[in-house]
Amino acid sequence: MTKKGEPLQQGSLPRRVQRIIKISSGFNKPFFSIRPGHTASGALKKTPYTTDTTGQTMKDTIRKLAKEKNAIILAHNYVPAEIQDVAHLCGDSLELSIRAAETDADIIVFCGVRFMAETAAILSPEKTVLLPVEDAGCPMADMVTPEALKKRKAQLPGIPVVTYVNSTAAVKALSDICCTSANVIRVVESLDSEEILMTPDRNLALYAASHSSKKIHLWEGFCPFHNTLDRKTVSEAKKAHPDAFFIAHPECPPEVLAMADAVTSTSGMIRMAKESEHKKFIIGTETGLLHPLRQACPDKIFHPASPEMYCPDMKKITLEILKNTLEKESGRVTVPEDIRIPALKAVRKMMAIKG
């Protein structure tokens, strides 16, 4: 099922994804502009901490509401700066999953996209998981449907399925183990089988294959915003900033990863920038990451590899929407038990892999 509840036709993709693939087909051309009123990093241009009717700043109101309701606000590293600043915890997909599983809070508010909130609901069914923007989705997650995966599994009997967390709960339920960009190599190496089917991200699978002797069967999914980065754009960025260290996300195409000084997850990039002796960086991921990078390393300089790496779904949330979500406890995400139990097995198997 799609997040709107309509069944997916076998072999076809949701219209939303077909539209994005069509828009993205000329990858060298810019296809998304910066959202009006926002900077390239997705932050609101106006002062974000406006006061509400009680005279409190929005940040204070949101934190007060969260305290009263015993709610934890989790935010992905790509959401707008003002949302990251009000959240209790920001992180990459793996860190957020771990925190969602460990928290004592009654309510988890997930500032990110649907698959992230679904993962929290899979791990903590007794908690109320809220997704502030109900149609915040991940086009890549929609590129694999349960029907299509069942068909492919039948063609590859006995071969384990590794599924990126950027996937629906129904697809996770059909998988042997999940992975994130932070642990994909460890996950692939943890399996006994010499052959693996990886869904949905082709680029992540190629990255894993380049670090493993295993045969990896690809799924032709991709992130429309990471997949847009090409050699020409990176060469231009390197020419403009010759002394910068280039870090790329594994969702980028292999020819871009080959030009990178390092490849890692979003939080991996923050850690690397903090620990590195380098002072200048070119960042090959969604531009929302520039905010936590600049906060973590105020004395260092970060250039986006391309300002076109902009995920509109991650930018849909505002402080007003977050406040309303907490007030009304709206946008609840649940996963039916017949899907949650097998999906939990795949997520837990991933989380048991340390390192």
Q: What residues make contact with ligand SF4 under the rule CB under 6 A?
A: 113, 138-140, 166, 223, 225-226, 251, 286, 311, 313-314
Of 202 and 323, nearer to ligand SF4 (C-beta) is 202
Residue of 84, 167, 265, 287 that binds ligand 13P (CB under 6 A): 265
Q: Which does 92 bind (CB under 5 to 8 A by kind): ligand SF4, ligand 13P, none?
A: ligand 13P
Angle between helical axes of 58-68 and 319-328 (0-180°, round to 10): 20
The answer to whether 295 and 90 are in contact (CB under 8 A) is no
Give the shortest CB-337-to-ligand 13P separation in angstroms: 26
Exposure string of 139-168, with b = 16+ CB inside 10 Å and e = fewer, is bbbbbbbbbbbeebbeeeeebbbbbbbbbb
Residues 5 and 9: their CA atoms lie apart, in Å, by: 12
Nearer to ligand 13P, 24 or 93 (CB): 93
Nearest alpha-carbon partner for 314 in 333, 290, 296, 288:
288
Comparing C-alpha atoms, which of 259, 260, 281 is closest to residue 270?
A: 281
| For ligand 13P, the closer CB: 43 or 178 | 178
What is the length of the chain?
A: 355
Only one of the segments 15-23, 147-155, 180-188, 324-332 lies at the binding site for ligand 13P (rule: CB under 6 A); that segment is 180-188
- Indicate which single residue of 2, 93, 203, 306 sits in contact with ligand 13P (rule: CB under 6 A): 93
The binder of 313, among ligand 13P, ligand SF4, none, by C-beta within 5 to 8 A per type, is: ligand SF4
Residue from 2, 77, 163, 287 in contact with ligand 13P (CB under 6 A): 77
Closest to ligand SF4 by CB, 208 vs 311, is: 311
Choosing among ligand 13P, ligand SF4, none, which partner's interface includes residue 42 (Cβ < 5 to 8 Å by kind)?
Answer: none
- Among 266, 287, 306, 325, interactor with ligand 13P by CB under 6 A: 266
In sequence order, the 6+-apart residues with CB closer than 8 A to the CB of 207 are 184, 250, 254, 257, 263
Closer residue to ligand SF4 in complex, CB, 146/200: 200
- Listing DSSP states for 276-332 in one string gives -S-SEEEEES-GGGHHHHHHH-TTSEEEES-TT---GGGG---HHHHHHHHHHT--B
Contact 326, 71 (CB under 8 A): yes
| Token pair in block for residue 116 | 């992230």
β pairing state of 161-164 and 177-179 = parallel
Stretch that binds ligand 13P, among 30-38, 66-74, 155-163, 174-182 (CB under 6 A): 174-182
Q: Compute the least distance from the CB of residue 259 to ligand 13P, in Å.
A: 19
- Give ∠ CA 43-308-273 in degrees, rounded to 5: 65
Q: Which is nearer to ligand SF4, 180 or 325 (CB)?
A: 180
Q: For binding to ligand 13P (CB under 6 A), which residues are involved?
A: 77, 92-93, 138, 166, 180-182, 223, 249, 251, 265-266
